[in-house]
Structure 1
């Protein structure tokens, strides 16, 4: 607002001075408010910039954490798979060893060949004992006896052969056999 505009409205100098003073006060108050608002705006812009920088850092950190979490999850999955496979292989080996030991005790001639005849899926190891094995073993001993060492009828139960006494030489039909070497030596010595 200018004094010329107030003159055109027909105001006196005194009235124009009062209006200009009021107007000056209003403009001063508005300028102070504007300066305060601009200062607050600049502070908020600074805070916004600071917050955006912190947010970007957090996003990068979270991204790194997400990558690390993803890697950790992948490693955990691989570890779990490896552990499961190892447990399966260990259980399978224990089962094979237990079966081979039982086959050795059953006098199998070749444990590996007889092991190939056993359905290992139906055999379970429970508390160190084989379940479902005896039935298969008996079936193999009956149907494929050639895979097992047969007991020699000449054995006396202790695994030792029973001695057999045979007349030496070529026996004749008269019941008298040829003289033994011991008898011949005794005759020469005169005994």
Structure 2
């Protein structure tokens, strides 16, 4: 509807403005519907194009290549599964070794025969026996118990006798003789 048409009917300017405003609302509502339908049509066209490309790619496929690809993926999946299992076992072993108060965790890990260990959800069987054997064969890899005295005490500091008991050590006597003269 055009403003000139309404002016030709002899309507007042305020009435024409209100009619034009109401007509504009209706037009905008219809434009929104048309835009939504255009978007829907565009989306459906894209989906049809994608489906046609997919169908064409299936026509061009070589079944033998697909079978080979499946086998390759199966092999890759098995390799990744083995790598995951090894990583999981290595992590469990490292965590278990931490509980044995070792001086050098990495060296101890290298000395453990992993092939003879059995990993399960309950723990690692065979590890305790290997650790006990290593404690006997290579005791320097483990921290000593605090309550036990080391066999070789050559490097322990000398503790002088207590001078409160009345006896004087020879060293204290020599020092006293030099400075008390």
Q: TM-score, normalised by structure 1?
A: 0.46
Q: TM-score, normalised by structure 2?
A: 0.48
Instruction: Name which one, 1 or 2, has greater alpha-carbon Rg.
Output: 1
